[in-house]
Amino acid sequence: MRFNGFHAAALGVLAVLGASPATAKTISVSATTPDANEKLQEALILAEPGDVVQLGAGVWTLTDGLSLDVAGVTVRGAGAGEGGSILDFTGQQGAGEGLLVTSDDVLLTNFAVLNTKGDGIKSKGADRIVYHQLRVEWTAGPKETNGAYGIYPVESTDVLVDSVYVRGASDAGIYVGQSKNIIVRDSIATENVAGIEIENSYNADVHDNIATKNTGGILVFDLPSLPMQGGHNVRVFENIVNDNSTPNFAPKGNIVASVPTGTGVLVMANRNVEIFDNVFADNGTANVMIVGYRYEHKDPNYQPLPRDIVVRGNQHGKAGYAPKFPGGDMIAAAMGGAIPPVLWDGAGDAVVLDKVGVLSLNLPDVKTPQSEAKPAPADLSKGTPPAALPAITLPESMEAKVK
Partner 1 sequence: MKRILAALAATLLCASGGAAFAPPGVDQAVVESDAMPPKLSAFGLFRGNDPGRPSTGIAYTLRASLFSDYTEKHRFIAIPAGKKAKVGSDGVIDFPVGTVLVKSFGWNDVGGGRLIETRLLIHRASGWVALPYIWDADGKDATLALGGRRVPVTFKSPDGETHSIRYAVPNKNQCKECHSLNGEIVPIGPKARNFILDPAAADAVRSRYFENPAALKPTMPIWDDPATGSVADRARAYLDVNCAHCHNPAGSASNSGLFLRWTDDPTGVNYGIGKRPTAAGRGSGGMDFAIAPGDPAHSFMIYRLESTDPGIAMPEVGRSTVHKEGAALLRQWIAEMPKGGQKAL
Question: What mask, x for binding partner 1 by CB under 8 A, covers residues 96 to 125?
Answer: x---x-x-------------xxxx----xx
Of the candidates 171, 191, 205, 345, which one interacts with partner 1 according to CB under 8 A? 171
Please report whether residue 161 would count as binding partner 1 according to CB under 8 A: no
90 with 114: CB under 8 angstroms?
Answer: yes
CB of 75 to partner 1, least distance (A): 14
Of the candidates 9, 45, 333, 334, which one interacts with partner 1 according to CB under 8 A? 45
Measured CA to CA in angstroms, residue 59 lies from 53, 93, 121, 195, 362 at distances of 16, 17, 17, 26, 53
* Rounded CA separation 337/57 (Å): 52
Please report whether residue 148 would count as binding partner 1 according to CB under 8 A: yes
Measured CA to CA in angstroms, residue 365 lies from 40, 41, 301, 343, 368 at distances of 53, 51, 17, 16, 6
241 with 283: CB under 8 angstroms?
Answer: yes
350 with 379: CB under 8 angstroms?
Answer: no
Backbone φ and ψ of 59, nearest 5°: -95, 120
Q: Which stretch binds partner 1 (CB under 8 A): 182-190, 207-215, 222-230, 346-354?
A: 222-230
Please report whether residue 336 would count as binding partner 1 according to CB under 8 A: no
CB of 50 to partner 1, least distance (A): 18
Please report whether residue 145 would count as binding partner 1 according to CB under 8 A: yes
Of the candidates 24, 27, 255, 353, which one interacts with partner 1 according to CB under 8 A? 255
Measured in Å, how far apart are the chain's first and last C-alpha atoms?
33
Please report whether residue 131 would count as binding partner 1 according to CB under 8 A: no
DSSP 8-state class, residue 381: S
Binding site residues, partner 1, CB under 8 A:
37-42, 44-46, 63-65, 67-69, 92-96, 100, 102, 116-119, 124-125, 144-145, 147-149, 152, 154-155, 170-171, 175, 177-178, 223, 225-228, 251-255, 295, 297-299
